[in-house]
Amino acid sequence: MKKLVVSFTIIILIVTLIGLGIADEREIKIGEKVEFHKTTDKPIHIGDGKGRIDDIAPAVRNPNPPTEYTWKFNLSQIPSSGELTVFVYSVAPYFAYGCSTLVKLNKKTLSDLSQNQSAGSGITTIEKIPLKSEHFNIGINKITIEEDLCSDGKSYNDSLIRKVELEIK
Protein backbone atom coordinates (compact mmCIF):
# COMPACT_ATOMS: atom_id res chain seq x y z
CA MET A 1 0.00 0.00 0.00
CA LYS A 2 2.88 2.40 0.85
CA LYS A 3 4.46 1.75 -2.57
CA LEU A 4 1.17 2.56 -4.26
CA VAL A 5 0.84 5.85 -2.34
CA VAL A 6 4.46 6.81 -3.10
CA SER A 7 4.03 5.95 -6.80
CA PHE A 8 0.80 7.94 -6.96
CA THR A 9 2.47 10.93 -5.24
CA ILE A 10 5.37 10.86 -7.73
CA ILE A 11 2.97 10.74 -10.67
CA ILE A 12 0.99 13.70 -9.27
CA LEU A 13 4.23 15.67 -8.79
CA ILE A 14 5.38 15.02 -12.37
CA VAL A 15 1.99 15.99 -13.81
CA THR A 16 2.02 19.18 -11.71
CA LEU A 17 5.53 20.11 -12.87
CA ILE A 18 4.59 19.54 -16.51
CA GLY A 19 1.48 21.68 -16.03
CA LEU A 20 3.64 24.48 -14.63
CA GLY A 21 6.05 24.18 -17.56
CA ILE A 22 8.96 23.28 -15.29
CA ALA A 23 9.57 19.69 -16.32
CA ASP A 24 10.25 20.61 -19.95
CA GLU A 25 13.13 22.95 -19.15
CA ARG A 26 16.44 21.31 -19.81
CA GLU A 27 19.82 22.17 -18.37
CA ILE A 28 22.37 23.02 -21.07
CA LYS A 29 26.08 23.04 -20.46
CA ILE A 30 28.93 24.89 -22.19
CA GLY A 31 29.98 23.02 -25.33
CA GLU A 32 26.60 21.34 -25.77
CA LYS A 33 24.46 21.31 -28.92
CA VAL A 34 20.73 20.71 -28.45
CA GLU A 35 18.08 20.11 -31.08
CA PHE A 36 14.85 21.46 -29.59
CA HIS A 37 12.99 20.56 -32.77
CA LYS A 38 14.42 18.15 -35.37
CA THR A 39 13.70 18.07 -39.08
CA THR A 40 12.35 14.54 -38.52
CA ASP A 41 9.77 15.85 -36.00
CA LYS A 42 6.30 16.91 -37.09
CA PRO A 43 6.53 20.59 -38.20
CA ILE A 44 4.97 23.14 -35.85
CA HIS A 45 2.34 25.32 -37.54
CA ILE A 46 2.19 28.93 -36.31
CA GLY A 47 0.16 31.84 -37.66
CA ASP A 48 -3.54 32.54 -37.99
CA GLY A 49 -4.58 29.58 -40.15
CA LYS A 50 -6.18 31.86 -42.71
CA GLY A 51 -5.30 32.69 -46.27
CA ARG A 52 -3.42 30.38 -48.60
CA ILE A 53 -2.52 27.41 -46.40
CA ASP A 54 -3.27 24.74 -49.00
CA ASP A 55 0.39 23.80 -49.21
CA ILE A 56 0.37 22.73 -45.55
CA ALA A 57 -0.29 18.99 -45.49
CA PRO A 58 -3.49 18.19 -43.55
CA ALA A 59 -1.44 16.01 -41.16
CA VAL A 60 0.56 19.02 -39.93
CA ARG A 61 -2.03 21.77 -40.42
CA ASN A 62 -3.42 23.23 -37.23
CA PRO A 63 -6.94 24.66 -37.64
CA ASN A 64 -6.29 27.10 -34.79
CA PRO A 65 -2.51 27.61 -34.69
CA PRO A 66 -0.75 29.69 -32.04
CA THR A 67 1.06 32.80 -33.29
CA GLU A 68 4.23 31.77 -31.45
CA TYR A 69 6.07 28.76 -30.09
CA THR A 70 8.61 28.77 -27.22
CA TRP A 71 11.31 26.41 -25.94
CA LYS A 72 12.83 26.83 -22.46
CA PHE A 73 16.25 25.87 -21.18
CA ASN A 74 18.37 26.53 -18.09
CA LEU A 75 21.94 27.77 -17.85
CA SER A 76 23.98 27.60 -14.67
CA GLN A 77 26.61 29.92 -16.17
CA ILE A 78 26.72 32.46 -18.98
CA PRO A 79 28.41 31.10 -22.12
CA SER A 80 30.85 33.25 -24.09
CA SER A 81 28.90 32.70 -27.32
CA GLY A 82 26.53 30.42 -29.14
CA GLU A 83 24.69 29.80 -32.38
CA LEU A 84 20.98 29.36 -32.94
CA THR A 85 19.94 27.59 -36.15
CA VAL A 86 16.34 27.75 -37.36
CA PHE A 87 14.57 26.29 -40.41
CA VAL A 88 11.17 27.93 -40.98
CA TYR A 89 8.94 27.23 -43.99
CA SER A 90 6.87 30.27 -44.89
CA VAL A 91 3.50 29.39 -46.32
CA ALA A 92 2.29 32.69 -47.73
CA PRO A 93 4.33 35.61 -46.50
CA TYR A 94 2.62 38.93 -46.92
CA PHE A 95 5.78 41.00 -46.79
CA ALA A 96 4.02 43.87 -48.58
CA TYR A 97 1.73 44.06 -45.54
CA GLY A 98 4.60 44.13 -43.08
CA CYS A 99 4.19 40.56 -41.80
CA SER A 100 7.29 39.38 -39.98
CA THR A 101 8.40 36.03 -38.62
CA LEU A 102 10.60 36.83 -35.63
CA VAL A 103 13.22 34.73 -33.84
CA LYS A 104 13.71 35.85 -30.24
CA LEU A 105 15.87 34.87 -27.30
CA ASN A 106 14.68 36.10 -23.91
CA LYS A 107 12.19 38.50 -25.56
CA LYS A 108 14.92 40.19 -27.64
CA THR A 109 14.53 39.94 -31.41
CA LEU A 110 17.50 38.22 -33.01
CA SER A 111 16.20 38.01 -36.57
CA ASP A 112 13.24 38.87 -38.78
CA LEU A 113 13.14 35.93 -41.20
CA SER A 114 11.04 37.92 -43.67
CA GLN A 115 14.11 40.13 -44.25
CA ASN A 116 16.28 37.16 -45.32
CA GLN A 117 17.19 37.46 -49.02
CA SER A 118 16.08 33.87 -49.67
CA ALA A 119 12.70 34.24 -47.88
CA GLY A 120 9.49 33.83 -49.82
CA SER A 121 6.28 31.92 -50.22
CA GLY A 122 6.83 28.16 -50.26
CA ILE A 123 10.47 28.47 -49.17
CA THR A 124 12.24 27.19 -46.06
CA THR A 125 14.37 30.00 -44.68
CA ILE A 126 17.48 28.74 -42.92
CA GLU A 127 19.31 31.09 -40.57
CA LYS A 128 22.33 30.55 -38.37
CA ILE A 129 22.21 33.32 -35.80
CA PRO A 130 25.40 34.08 -33.84
CA LEU A 131 24.82 34.72 -30.14
CA LYS A 132 26.88 36.74 -27.67
CA SER A 133 27.12 36.32 -23.92
CA GLU A 134 24.70 39.22 -23.35
CA HIS A 135 21.91 37.27 -25.08
CA PHE A 136 21.83 34.71 -22.25
CA ASN A 137 20.57 34.68 -18.65
CA ILE A 138 21.61 32.52 -15.73
CA GLY A 139 18.58 30.34 -15.05
CA ILE A 140 15.64 30.13 -17.44
CA ASN A 141 16.12 31.22 -21.07
CA LYS A 142 13.43 31.19 -23.77
CA ILE A 143 13.74 30.77 -27.52
CA THR A 144 10.61 31.98 -29.31
CA ILE A 145 9.59 31.94 -32.97
CA GLU A 146 6.58 34.14 -33.55
CA GLU A 147 4.45 35.61 -36.27
CA ASP A 148 4.21 39.35 -35.77
CA LEU A 149 0.93 41.13 -36.45
CA CYS A 150 0.85 42.45 -40.02
CA SER A 151 0.53 46.16 -40.67
CA ASP A 152 -3.18 45.68 -41.49
CA GLY A 153 -3.63 45.06 -37.76
CA LYS A 154 -5.60 41.83 -38.19
CA SER A 155 -3.53 39.24 -40.10
CA TYR A 156 -0.57 36.96 -39.42
CA ASN A 157 1.63 35.01 -41.80
CA ASP A 158 1.54 31.20 -41.48
CA SER A 159 4.74 29.20 -41.12
CA LEU A 160 5.97 25.73 -40.27
CA ILE A 161 8.87 25.46 -37.82
CA ARG A 162 11.02 22.63 -39.11
CA LYS A 163 14.18 22.83 -36.98
CA VAL A 164 15.50 24.69 -33.93
CA GLU A 165 19.01 23.92 -32.75
CA LEU A 166 21.15 25.71 -30.16
CA GLU A 167 24.88 25.36 -29.70
CA ILE A 168 26.44 26.80 -26.53
CA LYS A 169 30.14 27.72 -26.75
Residue 78 has pLDDT above 60, yes or no: yes
pLDDT in tens, 92-126: 655 556 789 999 999 999 999 988 888 877 889 99
Does residue 13 lie within any of the structural domains? no
Does residue 21 lie within any of the structural domains? no
Q: Confidence band (pLDDT; 50, 70, 90) for 90? A: confident
The number of distinct structural domains making up the chain is 1
Q: What contacts 125, CB < 8 A, 6 or more positions away?
A: 86, 87, 88, 89, 90, 101, 113, 116, 118, 119
What distance lies between CA 32 and its chain's CA centroid?
18
Residue numbers of the domain that contains 157: 26-168
Kindly state the percentage of the chain with pLDDT values over 70.
Answer: 80
How much is the pLDDT for 58? Answer: 81
Q: Residue 124 belongs to a domain with what CATH number? A: 2.60.120.260
Does residue 96 lie within any of the structural domains? yes
How much is the pLDDT for 61? Answer: 84
Residue 73 has pLDDT above 60, yes or no: yes
Does residue 132 lie within any of the structural domains? yes
